[in-house]
Structure formats: C-alpha cells, structure tokens
Amino acid sequence: MLRSAIQQSLRRGTGSSASQLNSRNFSSSTPHRKVAVLGAAGGIGQSLSLLMKLNPLVSQLSLYDIAGTPGVAADVSHINTRSQVMGYVGEDQLGKALEGCDLVIIPAGVPRKPGMTRDDLFNINAGIVKGLCTAISKYCPNALVNMISNPVNSTVPIASEVFKKSGTYDERRLFGVTTLDVVRAKTFYAGKANVNVAEVNVPVVGGHAGITILPLFSQATPQANILSDEVLTALTKRTQDGGTEVVEAKAGKGSATLSMAYAGALFADACLKGLNGVPDVVECSFVQSNITELPFFASKVRLGKNGVEEVLGLGALSVYEKQGLEALLPELKSSIEKGIKFANQS
Ligand SMILES: NC(=O)c1ccc[n+]([C@@H]2O[C@H](COP(=O)([O-])OP(=O)(O)OC[C@H]3O[C@@H](n4cnc5c(N)ncnc54)[C@H](O)[C@@H]3O)[C@@H](O)[C@H]2O)c1
C-alpha cells in the first residue's frame, strides 16, 4: 500500500508533469539510470535514499557520505525494488560512487539551527559543494546535478564556476532544488482555498531563501477567487518562512528533512522522466536564466533528454507579486555574487 502510494505520488510529480507518466509512457524497457545521493547518511539523505530506492526509473543507486553510508546502503538495499544499491564512504570512494552517473543529488552539508539564516551556512557548505562538484566534473561530467545544499542561491553559482573551470559546464544540467517551496505553497494554498491539494499547482519563482522565494498565487490552479489580499500576503509569508517554521519546531535538531526528501525525490523523478524522453515535464527550479537581469533565477523549466530544454517565462504577475519581484532582486543578486566570488577565490 505504502509503496504504491509513494510510487504513484512520484509518478504524479509536482508540476504540469502530473499526468505525464501514465502507462503509455512507462514501459518495461525503462533505460538504465545510475543515481547518486551525496550526503546519503544525513537527515535528508537517508529518507531521500529510501524514496529513490522506491523509484522504478532508477536501476543503480549509489549512496555516498563521509560516514555512515555502509549501514544506510545495507538497510535500503534489502527493499525489493528494481535498483541495485551500493554504499560508498570517504573521499577515496567518491570517484567510484560517481562514475557513470546520470543524476547526482547533493544534500550534503550542515542544516540550519534556530536563529540561523541559510546564508549562515555559507562557509561550511560552500566548501563541501565545491569539493563534490570538482569530483563530479572529473567522474561524471555529463550527469544532471540536483543541488539541495543550502544556501542554494549561492551553491548553484559555486557549482557553475567549478564546472566552468574544469571545462565541463553545461547550464542545462545544473539545478537548484526549490521543489520544497512549491510543495509548501501547494499545501498552504489548498488549506486556505479549500481545494483538493492533489490537484493544486502553484509556480514559485526567484530563489530559495526568505523574500527571494516568490510564490505566484495569482497563477495558482484551481483558481480560488475568494482569497483576500490579507490571506494572499499571509500565504506568501508562510511559504517564504516555511523552512524557519520547521527549524524552530525542531528546536536545534536541524531543518526540514522529511518534506525535503519528498520534494527532492519528486524533482529527481522529473529529471529522470525528462532524460527518458517523457514529453512536457515542467517543474520549477533555480537555473541559469535570462528571464530577469540575474544570471540564475528559479522559474518553471521544461525538462528533457539533456536537462533544461526551455526556461519558461514568469507569466502575468499581480501588483503584489511585481513588488515582491523587485524586492527580491538585490538580495538574490548578492547571494549569487557571493557564490561566484567564493568559487573563484578559494
Ligand atoms: N533545498 C532545500 O529546500 C533544502 C531544505 C532543507 C535543507 N536543505 C539543506 O540540505 C543540507 C543537508 O541537510 P540535512 O538536514 O540532511 O543535514 P544533516 O547534517 O542531517 O546531513 C548532512 C549530511 O552531509 C554529510 N556530509 C558532510 N560533508 C560531506 C561531504 N564532503 N561529502 C558528502 N557528505 C557530506 C554529513 O556526513 C551528513 O550525513 C543542508 O545544507 C540544508 O540546509 C536544503
């Protein structure tokens, strides 16, 4: 029951890919796909590894961490689903973990504690991400990279600089995972609009921290005309502060792990569908972009056999959303620049 519920949910996806993976698109000749989770023994990593083990699009699941992966891999490997699981621990095994990967998911790093912003994580996580991306450029330069490690607004630019330096950068293959913002926006919207949450779609654009997270409730479906400006403002704020809500509730024991693993698994599933040629897979992600003056921006993107096939525009914004967009640009710009500077200085 649980497995089929989770698998159905993975197949549904978070965006307009919702109806894509039906029996017509899903055949027994599903291609071989190797997926690595870097940071697999962590709070997000363990649940994400479980969910990726349940994904029938994965044939090889490579679990890497600096400690603890043999146990996680042995545990997950007993689940009777398609993928073969291998655990790798320590830097000297990183190459083996990455070789031949189609998709690398990175939830490695330290999470927030109460009172910290995502930016406070910068110094530790920036170094971790830089090291891991250097290895990716060496061992699986063609893999899609799903960056979960925070601050995503900076770690994605760091990754791009590392890949540029090694001559392996392909902007279509690098993604900041902002799916949790979409998942939260959908949940909170459905609660207020009193609509079936399974049918809700809400694009979330901008970045992945505080006010840089801009949910576009004016484009939410199903439409709910009854929502007042006050409610829309509260929904926006709750989506922006969703991470902090969890950090505070966990009171020092970390940040969102379970909902993040769910969101990460949904986004990875969408990437795999795109790689496999499923048409019209659309998700929000923080990617290289020219839809604003900033070099990276989260918006809806169409996924395909090479990663990003098309960065979709913002669509019509309400006055409130236009103000939100203007307000977020300076902060997002400075986080992007901070990442680029770090990558080029250190
Ligand atoms: N994108 C998002 O929406 C989102 C949401 C929540 C958390 N996060 C971020 O995800 C990251 C992980 O969070 P968590 O709660 O799982 O933390 P955690 O501390 O529970 O786990 C992190 C794991 O990373 C591992 N690690 C550290 N350095 C490593 C390295 N060099 N190589 C491989 N693994 C390494 C640790 O050993 C640990 O197992 C944090 O940066 C957090 O801020 C992102």
* Local structure of 56: helix, strand or coil: coil
Q: Is the CB of 116 under 6 A from ligand 1?
A: no
CA of 45, closest atom in ligand 1: 16
pLDDT range class, residue 64, cuts 50, 70, 90: very high
Angstrom CA distances, 206 to 9, 66, 158, 290, 291, stand at 26, 32, 18, 12, 10
Q: Concatenated DSSP letters for 86-150?
A: EEEESGGGHHHHHTT-SEEEE--SPPP-TT--GGGGHHHHHHHHHHHHHHHHHH-TTSEEEE-SS
* Amino acid at residue number 82: R
Q: Is the CB of 131 under 6 A from ligand 1?
A: yes
Which residues are part of the catalytic machinery?
208
User: Alpha-carbon distance 130 to 102, whole Å?
Assistant: 19
Least Cα distance to 337 among 299, 296, 285, 298 occurs for 296
Would the pLDDT of 65 be above 60?
yes
Would the pLDDT of 15 be above 80?
no
pLDDT range class, residue 346, cuts 50, 70, 90: low
Which residue did the predictor score with more confidence, 11 or 13? 11
Least Cα distance to 272 among 24, 19, 34 occurs for 34
Which residue minimizes the CA distance to atom 18 of ligand 1?
42
Look at residue 236 in the predicted model and tell me its pLDDT.
98
Would the pLDDT of 298 be above 60?
yes
Q: Is the CB of 65 under 6 A from ligand 1?
A: yes
Mean pLDDT for 309-316 is 97
Residue pair 87/119 in contact (Cβ under 8 Å)? The answer is no
Which residue did the predictor score with more confidence, 215 or 116? 215
- Show the beta-strand stretches assigned E in 159-218: 174-176, 204-206, 213-215
Mutate to test the pocket of ligand 1, among 134, 136, 148 (most ligand atoms within 8 A of CB): 148
Residue 271 has a CB neighbour count (10 Å cut-off) of 28
Question: What's the mean pLDDT when you consider all of the chain?
Answer: 92
Which residue minimizes the CA distance to atom 2 of ligand 1?
148
Torsion over CA of 127, 141, 344 and 286, rounded to 10 degrees?
A: -80
Which residue minimizes the CA distance to atom 6 of ligand 1?
256
Can you read off the two tokens belonging to residue 137?
A: 């450029």
Residue 118 annotated as binding site: yes
Would the pLDDT of 1 be above 70?
no
Mean pLDDT for 177-197 is 97
Angstrom CA distances, 149 to 16, 166, 304, stand at 25, 21, 24
Taking the centre of ligand 1 as the mean of its atom positions, its distance from the CA of residue 68, in whole angstroms, is 13
pLDDT range class, residue 17, cuts 50, 70, 90: very low
CA of 180, closest atom in ligand 1: 3
Residue 260 annotated as binding site: yes
Residue pair 105/285 in contact (Cβ under 8 Å)? The answer is no
Give Cβ neighbours of residue 230 (< 8 Å, ≥ 6 apart): none
Would the pLDDT of 26 be above 60?
no
Segment 222-252, tens digit of pLDDT: 998 779 999 999 999 999 999 999 999 999 8
Segment 78-107, tens digit of pLDDT: 999 999 999 999 999 999 999 999 999 999
Q: Is the CB of 155 under 6 A from ligand 1?
A: no
User: Alpha-carbon distance 46 to 328, whole Å?
Assistant: 33
Only one residue has tokens 């920036």, namely 126
Q: Is the CB of 41 under 6 A from ligand 1?
A: yes
Q: Is the CB of 126 under 6 A from ligand 1?
A: no
Residue 285 has a CB neighbour count (10 Å cut-off) of 30
Which residue minimizes the CA distance to atom 34 of ligand 1?
39
Q: Is the CB of 148 under 6 A from ligand 1?
A: yes
Only one residue has tokens 């159905």, namely 8
Element at 278 (helix H, strand E): none
Residue 67 annotated as binding site: no
Residue 276 annotated as binding site: no
Look at residue 7 in the predicted model and tell me its pLDDT.
54
Taking the centre of ligand 1 as the mean of its atom positions, its distance from the CA of residue 197, in whole angstroms, is 28
Segment 259-268, tens digit of pLDDT: 999 999 999 9
